[in-house]
Amino acid sequence: MSASPTFTRPGPGLLPADARALLAGRYGGEPLRVLVIPGLADSGPGHWQTWLQGQYRDTVRVQQADWHTPDLRRWAGRIGQVLARHPRTAWIAVAHSFGCLALARHLLEQPASPDGPGLRAALLVAPAEPAKFGVEALLPQHGLGLPTTVVGSRTDPWMTLDRARLWAARWGSRFVDLGEAGHVNVESGHGPWPYGRLMVDRLIRQEHARRRLMRVHPMELSYAV
């Protein structure tokens, strides 16, 4: 009686040359950083965005030329300029108020790539009401093209909860009802904001999980069956 055949999973060196080349050419894992996008008047030293900026290494803040003039196209353009300075970086964006609208406009002008560097996910906290600025027609009316979470407040003077929920639905975003949280700023008591960091961490974990899947070669998956 012949011996039962044995199975050995091949190591990387045993894969065919064409398979190794394909594996080497897959998603390379660019650095993942946090991009802070403040709203009107910037986010001061006591604001949760400033606190959050200190929670992650190499965080970058989008700086506007004029923090008091809500020019949607110019604000969106500044986001594009920051991204262009870091062409090999992948980002988790964290926007607030009018900064959320600027980010949405940027994604309309420059859609996110499905793979590689650039914007990978976004947290949009207390978006400003587009109708207040006459910019509804300038914003995406459908998905933003990447995983997003919109956070709304029941007592936000800049956007009602129903409208925040409506825009989240239009953009295909996960929606979080923060309760009676004002405009989610210093005035409403949002300095250090651990829950905000938890939501950012969730987006980071999702991106890392996606990267792991991208690095797995189909041949390796077949051996795992």
Written as one letter, the residue type at 94 is V
Q: Supply the pLDDT for residue 10.
A: 34
Q: Supply the pLDDT for residue 212.
A: 84
Question: What's the CA gap between 216 and 150, in Å, rounded?
Answer: 31
DSSP track, 93-160: EEEETHHHHHHHHHHHHSPPPSSSSEEEEEEEES---HHHHT-GGGS-SS--SS-EEEEE-TT-TTS-
Q: Supply the pLDDT for residue 213.
A: 80
Q: Supply the pLDDT for residue 49.
A: 98
Question: What's the CA gap between 65 and 172, in Å, rounded?
Answer: 30
Distances (CA, A) of 192 to 3, 50, 144, 185, 195: 66, 9, 28, 10, 9
Count of beta carbons in the 10 Å neighbourhood of residue 4:
6
Q: Supply the pLDDT for residue 115.
A: 79
Q: Supply the pLDDT for residue 222.
A: 54
**Tokens 């976004």 appear where?**
122
Question: What's the CA gap between 128 and 41, in Å, rounded?
Answer: 13
CATH code of the domain in which 103 resides:
3.40.50.1820
Whether 10 is covered by a domain: the verdict is no
Whether 5 is covered by a domain: the verdict is no
**Tokens 């956070």 appear where?**
151
Backbone angles phi, psi at 21, to 5 degrees: -65, -40
Report angle CA 158, 94, 147 to the nearest 5 degrees: 100
Q: In which order are the strands placed within the sheet that holds 118-125? A: 60-61, 32-37, 90-96, 118-125, 148-152, 174-177
- Specify the number of domains making up the chain: 1
Whether 8 is covered by a domain: the verdict is no
Whether 11 is covered by a domain: the verdict is no
Nearest to 49 by CA among 101, 114, 93: 93
Whether 107 is covered by a domain: the verdict is yes
Cα dihedral 213/219/220/222 (nearest 10) = 100
Count of beta carbons in the 10 Å neighbourhood of residue 215:
13
Low-confidence ranges of the chain (pLDDT < 50): 1-28, 221, 223
**Tokens 């987006």 appear where?**
203
The one-character DSSP state at 175 is: E
Domain range for 152: 30-224
Q: Supply the pLDDT for residue 217.
A: 53
